[in-house]
Amino acid sequence: MGNFFLAVKEFIISKYFLKQIGLIILVYLGIVLGLMLFLRYETNHGEKIEVPNLIGKSSEEGKKILTELGLQYQILDSIYDPSKPVGTIVSQHPEATAISQLFVKSGRIISLRVSKNKELVEIPELIGREIIYVRQSLQSRGIVFDIHYRPTNEANGAVLEVLFKGNPISTGTRVPRGARVLLIVGEKTEEEIEVPNLIGLSFNETRTVLDSLGVPTSYFFINCLTSSDSSSAKVTEQGPEYIPGFKVTKSTPFTLKLSNDPPNN
């Protein structure tokens, strides 16, 4: 065992071992020094560039200033602000050195947000909805609208179609805030009937005719004291007045006066 430790001791203090240790130390120092020089070069150690204040400048002017300083730029997005010219810088990151007290190195990216005077909003679900609900939904989005009614037997008062610049658009289509769209709204058309001549007809005959037409009717009996009198009474006046070929809608109320007295000529 003693010979082993003696051999190890002699190896450690030998010129060969010391030479290898020295080479390892030199290589390590060379690597460390090389990394320090590399990092110093890559990070521009000691370089300080003051970030300019670009707020209120046009995007083109801001890009020019940053390029001359050796800085890069990117436009993050646009913010709706109709009070400013399009492309005006409204925010930046990082902030100007005068505000943040921070300096940057060349090549640093400065992020910009610029103004726009048109904000896009989505067209909500409108088809089939009543105009009273559609009106509120569009107004909340700042969309202006006109209404054009189209005759229909169904969907009375509901939106049938939405047009923008003459072309149909669907739910989710993005249009500028303040854009004007045209709403095609269904309007139920009432059936028209020709006014019949009821003068001289009995109550039962008159009721048969008007019931078949399905119109609202009011009867007024003159000088009729009993139900028999009413049944035998005949129409002396009618409204709407009979005019050959004259038509009214089926919702028009008919008013009739009946009497047992002969009609006035």
User: pLDDT tens across 110-163, in order?
Assistant: 999 998 877 888 999 999 898 888 888 998 888 999 999 888 766 778 899 999
8 A C-beta contact, residue 178 and residue 120: no
DSSP state of 214: T
State the distance between the two ends of the chain, measured CA to CA, in whole angstroms: 155
Beta bridge partners of 219: 256
**What gap in Å lies between CA 13 and CA 150, rounded to an integer?**
107
CATH number of 49-116: 3.30.10.20
| Mean of pLDDT over the chain | 84
* % the chain with pLDDT above 70: 87
At residue 111, the pLDDT reads 92
For residue 238, give every residue at least 6 positions away whose Cβ sits within 8 Å of its Cβ, in sequence order, or none. 198, 199, 254, 255, 256, 257
For residue 228, give every residue at least 6 positions away whose Cβ sits within 8 Å of its Cβ, in sequence order, or none. none
At residue 170, the pLDDT reads 92
At residue 265, the pLDDT reads 46
CATH assignment of 192-259, among 3.40.47.10, 3.40.50.12500, 3.30.10.20, 3.40.50.2000? 3.30.10.20
CATH number of 122-188: 3.30.10.20
At residue 12, the pLDDT reads 63
Structure confidence at residue 106 as a pLDDT band (50, 70, 90):
confident
Q: Higher model confidence: residue 85 or residue 30?
A: 85
pLDDT at 61 over 90: yes
What sign does the dihedral 44-47-48-52 (CA atoms) show? negative
At residue 4, the pLDDT reads 62
Domain boundaries, the chain: 49-116, 122-188, 192-259
Residues 222-247, mean pLDDT to the nearest whole number: 89
Instruction: Please check whether the two domains, 122-188 and 192-259, share a CATH topology.
Output: yes
At residue 262, the pLDDT reads 58
